[in-house]
Amino acid sequence: MSNVVTKFLNYIRIDTQSNEESETCPSTEKQLNLANLLVSELNSLGLKDVSLDKNGYVMATLPSNIEKKVPIIGFIAHLDTSPDMSGENVSPQIIENYDGGIIMLNQEKNIFLSPHEFPEMRKYIGQTLITTDGTTLLGADDKAGIAEIITAIEFLVKNPQIPHGTIKIAFTPDEEIGRGVDNFDVDKFDADYAYTIDGGEIGELEYENFNAASAKIKIQGRNVHPGTAKNKMINAMLVGMKINAMLPVNEKPEYTEGYEGFYHLTNFSGTVEEASLSYIIRDHNRKKFEMKKDIITKIVDFQNHHYGEGTVSLELKDQYFNMREKVEPVKFIVDIAEKAMLEIGIIPKIIPIRGGTDGARLSYLGLPTPNIFTGGLNFHGKFEFIPIPSMEKCVETIVKITELYTKL
């Protein structure tokens, strides 16, 4: 079993699920269990300036082994797994020489991974896959990225004949709940450019992401006995349903792809008296993004006009913006990653991220940070899997990138 797989299997057994309801950083103490393990491993490799700060950020430096001055580059992955599904008691399955058929994840619960539902599985016929047991997520997002970075650094340490400049690495908490960069010390990290290892399928290379906002709507209804409710009752749940129905029908995740944005209802709860809705709003185009926020604001205003001022309240917050604006002026960092992939036999897929990464906010903090594949698929759920050859190719990509920077 390769080093990257051994590390990955070790990391995913540590529960690091984040919690968006928490106000601490990290949002869950258990993320520090993995952070402390990584600090130990980085120290064992002989890296310099290894640190774990009070907020759960791990940083370390591999010094340059060349005299030539080249850009300092960083590689970043995140510690936490999605808050939407358990990362506790992960029990991975190794599927050797995948035959292209259905993979039974859990016989008892009749949970299976099928190429009829996930046709991309057929790309990996003949390869060894790591899957879940059907009861938890796998954690490839982003423990695969962590394993790939550390394996690449370990390879460079053990092969000093490979030239490289100064390399910085960082592992961040709470990326999955949008806080991965809240306390990231860009000055301390001290890199010129960086790459998040946080993408999906092999070959993915991304320097565009959604502009993102959250919308939290609260509705104050009026509960009256239904027998005498005419012209008096305001059913908060029904007001919420009206709000949702007024949003553009086709601008939902299940109807969109590529550069198409959406409104995504993530939570709807309530009673006649009170109700709440939570949305995330996404679009690559900044003008369309601002229009989406304007639409939901006008819908809320309309409901208040109809039912009375104060019936509906809206809390609208920007979360992050499209990194393209900050990366394009130094697009050679994307070109280097693309060249690295080509040189090791990978066909690059330069696509927009239909989501966000730590790299988006880092780019706006002055550290341009495109995103590179981990190899994982179906993140955040029980159908998550990762082909081992994709992980190994990610390690090669990281090593090759470090070599190419010495040739600038």
d(CA 268, CA 239): 12
- List of residues 6+ apart from 248 with CB closer than 8 A: 263, 295
For residues 25 and 145, membership in a common domain is answered with: yes
- List of residues 6+ apart from 143 with CB closer than 8 A: 8, 11, 12, 16, 34, 77, 81
Given a contact cutoff of 8 angstroms between Cβ atoms, the answer to whether 51 and 60 are in contact is yes
Question: 100-108 contacts: CB < 8 A, separation 24 or more?
Answer: 100/125, 103/129, 103/131, 105/131, 105/132, 105/133, 105/134, 105/382, 105/383, 106/133, 106/134, 106/135
Residue 315, beta-bridge partner list: 216
Burial class from Cβ neighbours inside 10 Å (0-12, 13-18, 19+) for residue 180 reads buried
Given a contact cutoff of 8 angstroms between Cβ atoms, the answer to whether 46 and 142 are in contact is no
Residue 352, beta-bridge partner list: none
**Token pair recorded at residue 269:** 């709860």
pLDDT above 70 (res 153): yes
| SS3 of residue 103 by DSSP | strand
Percent of the chain with pLDDT over 70: 100
The label of the residue with tokens 């809705």 reads 277
For the domain that residue 35 is a member of, what is the CATH number? Answer: 3.40.630.10
Calculate Rg over the CA atoms of the chain: 23
Rounded mean pLDDT of 274-279? 98
Q: How confident is the model at residue 1 (pLDDT cuts 50, 70, 90)?
A: low
pLDDT above 80 (res 179): yes
For residues 31 and 180, membership in a common domain is answered with: yes
For residues 143 and 271, membership in a common domain is answered with: no
For the segment 395-408, what is each residue's pLDDT rounded down to a tens digit? 999 999 999 999 99
Question: What is the phi/psi pair of residue 26, to 5°?
Answer: -70, 160
The number of folded domains in the chain is 2
Beta strands in 19-166 (DSSP E): 48-52, 58-62, 73-78, 93-95, 103-106, 111-113, 129-131
**Of 287, 320, 353, the domain-final residue:** 320
- Average confidence score pLDDT of the chain: 96
| SS3 of residue 45 by DSSP | coil
Q: How confident is the model at residue 355 (pLDDT cuts 50, 70, 90)?
A: confident
41 included as an active-site residue: no
For residues 289 and 161, membership in a common domain is answered with: no
Helical axes 140-158 vs 3-12, angle rounded to 10°: 140
For residues 126 and 265, membership in a common domain is answered with: no
From 351, 372, 317, 381, select the one nearest 137 (Cα to Cα): 381
| SS3 of residue 21 by DSSP | coil
pLDDT above 90 (res 178): no
**Of 292, 320, 348, the domain-final residue:** 320
d(CA 45, CA 301): 58
C-alpha distances (whole Å) from 49 to each of 43, 46, 59, 173, 320 are 9, 10, 7, 19, 29
For residues 71 and 181, membership in a common domain is answered with: yes
d(CA 151, CA 135): 28
80 included as an active-site residue: yes
For residues 49 and 192, membership in a common domain is answered with: yes
According to the model, what pLDDT value does residue 363 have?
Answer: 96
For residues 245 and 372, membership in a common domain is answered with: no
Given a contact cutoff of 8 angstroms between Cβ atoms, the answer to whether 60 and 48 are in contact is yes
d(CA 365, CA 187): 10
C-alpha distances (whole Å) from 2 to each of 112, 128, 274 are 27, 12, 54
For the domain that residue 215 is a member of, what is the CATH number? Answer: 3.30.70.360
| SS3 of residue 212 by DSSP | strand
15, 80, 141, 358: the active-site residue: 80
User: 346: which DSSP letter?
Assistant: -
For residues 189 and 89, membership in a common domain is answered with: yes
For residues 186 and 285, membership in a common domain is answered with: no
For the segment 91-100, what is each residue's pLDDT rounded down to a tens digit? 999 999 999 9
Given a contact cutoff of 8 angstroms between Cβ atoms, the answer to whether 42 and 50 are in contact is yes
For residues 290 and 368, membership in a common domain is answered with: no
d(CA 346, CA 370): 17
For the segment 26-53, what is each residue's pLDDT rounded down to a tens digit? 999 999 999 999 999 999 999 999 999 9
**Of 320, 352, 367, the domain-final residue:** 320
148, 175, 192, 208: the active-site residue: 175
The residue segments making up the domain with residue 310 are 211-320
For residues 377 and 279, membership in a common domain is answered with: no
pLDDT above 90 (res 319): no
Rounded mean pLDDT of 248-268? 96
